[in-house]
Amino acid sequence: MAKANLTREAFEVFIEAEELGCSGQVGTLYRDKVRTALPVSFEYTAEWIAQHPFMLDPRLELYAGEQHPVGDSVSFGIFLDSAPDRWGRLLMERREVIQANKEGRTSRKLQEMDFLLGVNDYTRQGALRFRRPDGPFLDNSELPTPTVTDLNELASICDRLEEEGVEKLPEYEKWLSLLIAPGSSLGGARPKANFEEADGSLWIAKFPAKNDIYDVGAWELVIHRLAEKAKIWVPTSRSIQLASKYHTFCVKRFDRTETSRRMYASAMTLLEKKDGESGSYLEMADFISNQGASGSIETDLAQLFRRVLFNVLVSNRDDHLRNHGFIRVADGWRLSDAFDMNPNLSKAIHALALDDANPDPDIEVAISTAEFYRLTNSQALDMLDEVVNVVSGWERQAKAEGLSGTEIDRMKSAFLV
């Protein structure tokens, strides 16, 4: 195995996933100490190659020696999946400015490895963990994960962070630390924080943003409730109202069991795509057909098709590949619970094509692809009837979640039933 030297540093990569029977080092990640913007490299341990015959990433083949990202990529998708989202990156960049000022230096541009290693280990997405040789897992912040009773304070902090001139307040650094410590790995640019429920389970709270003009959190809960009724797999969720007039959407982390972590990868990683690249639902279906867990392929294909129909009917248009994911089980990949589903009035087309090329929200196009999901036309139409029947009750569900008549009128055009 290669080693760190005067010009580069090594970070051991561990996996913790009870359901896979995996716990221990899987490999080592290397980066240049000075030219930190250079691509990283990775190599598996000999033990992983011998004992656990699956690749962490489709671009990390199971062989000895260092491997490098292809093209202009600076890292591998599976590690990007463990890094923070746009909200987390914003907080880390602000923290770097504070630290630079305290140390009397110019703030540096954070690179992918800085973001990756800056996520709190306890709340990091998925089953991978990172550390310097023989050191603690990173980031090893000593700040405790907030509990459900801390959400009011966290919501207030998020609100203040969006105010002009807030960086001059003496509490600013503490606020950043509170929000960075929980980590922000699971999708999107909205203010959020991880928190522990009373039973010890890990959840995410997605707070209202300063510029919201409607109740985004309440509508996300409406979509979750409709999805559940439409037989779409979703995590446990609820909404709460804190200081804002709008709701905070809270959802249980699906990449955790009661006692361990779960190996998660985004569809973007598994399809070997990059942010901004086009994709399609059929590519996801093809991945399930070829690399899905044996015995569950038909189930997962049918579930994905159900989600296609649902996303069209509720105008969940921000359905890009980072908003779909998979959980690794012993014999392949399983479609994860659905997440980040919201009615969207500002986008006319889907992020993903429904067939090979067409991203228009067209149910007929979706039905025409049924065979790729191993469904007959009759089965597809029966499924459509089920989903339409559920989505037709959207207004009743919205009222049940406390949304006003004004909110409901605003969102009517999003529901295509």
pLDDT band at 3 (very low <50, low <70, confident <90, very high): low
Residue 238 above 50 pLDDT? yes
Residue 184 above 60 pLDDT? no
pLDDT band at 183 (very low <50, low <70, confident <90, very high): very low
112 and 75 in contact (C-beta within 8 Å)? Answer: yes
Per-domain residue ranges of the chain: 265-414
Residue 294 above 80 pLDDT? yes
Residue 188 above 70 pLDDT? no
User: Average pLDDT, stretch 47-59?
Assistant: 93
User: Average pLDDT, stretch 47-73?
Assistant: 94
Cis, peptide link before residue 114, omega less than 30° from 0: no
Residue 272 above 50 pLDDT? yes
pTM of the entire predicted model: 0.94
- Structure-model confidence comparison of residues 105 and 142, the more confident one: 105
pLDDT number for residue 164? 82
Average pLDDT over the chain, rounded to an integer: 93
